[in-house]
């Protein structure tokens, strides 16, 4: 009895489910190409200076941490 009810419910859900048309899926047929390929991208001078300035402070913080941790381990 329960198997028959289950079959009926599955049959109804298959009939009631909407069919997806393939027309809506054709929007991504071509790959997007960037205007400037990353291979040929060059930074401006201002961007390079800004990045180097930020990286400098990261290096300073890392050096202070290494010095402090080393001094703590060696008990200097």
Alpha-carbon 35 to chain mean position: 21
pLDDT at 46: 82
pLDDT digits (tens, 9 = 90+) for 9-51: 778 776 655 555 555 555 556 666 656 666 666 777 888 888 8
3-state SS assignment for residue 42:
coil
Helices (H), the chain: 2-16, 45-74
pLDDT at 18: 56
The set of residues, in sequence order, having a beta carbon less than 8 Å from that of 43 and lying 6+ positions away, is 51
| Highest mean pLDDT of the ranges 47-51, 60-64, 70-74 | 60-64
pLDDT at 25: 57
**pTM for this one?**
0.38
pLDDT at 62: 97
- The angle formed by the CA atoms of residues 43, 49 and 55, to the nearest 5 degrees, is 105
């Amino acid at each position: 009895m329960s198997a028959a009810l289950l079959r009926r419910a599955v049959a109804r859900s298959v009939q009631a489910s909407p069919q997806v048309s393939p027309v809506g899926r054709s929007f991504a047929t071509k790959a997007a190409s960037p205007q400037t390929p990353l291979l040929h991208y060059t930074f401006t001078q201002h961007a390079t200076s800004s990045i180097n300035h930020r990286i400098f402070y990261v290096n300073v913080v890392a050096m202070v941490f290494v010095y402090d941790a080393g001094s703590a381990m060696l008990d200097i």
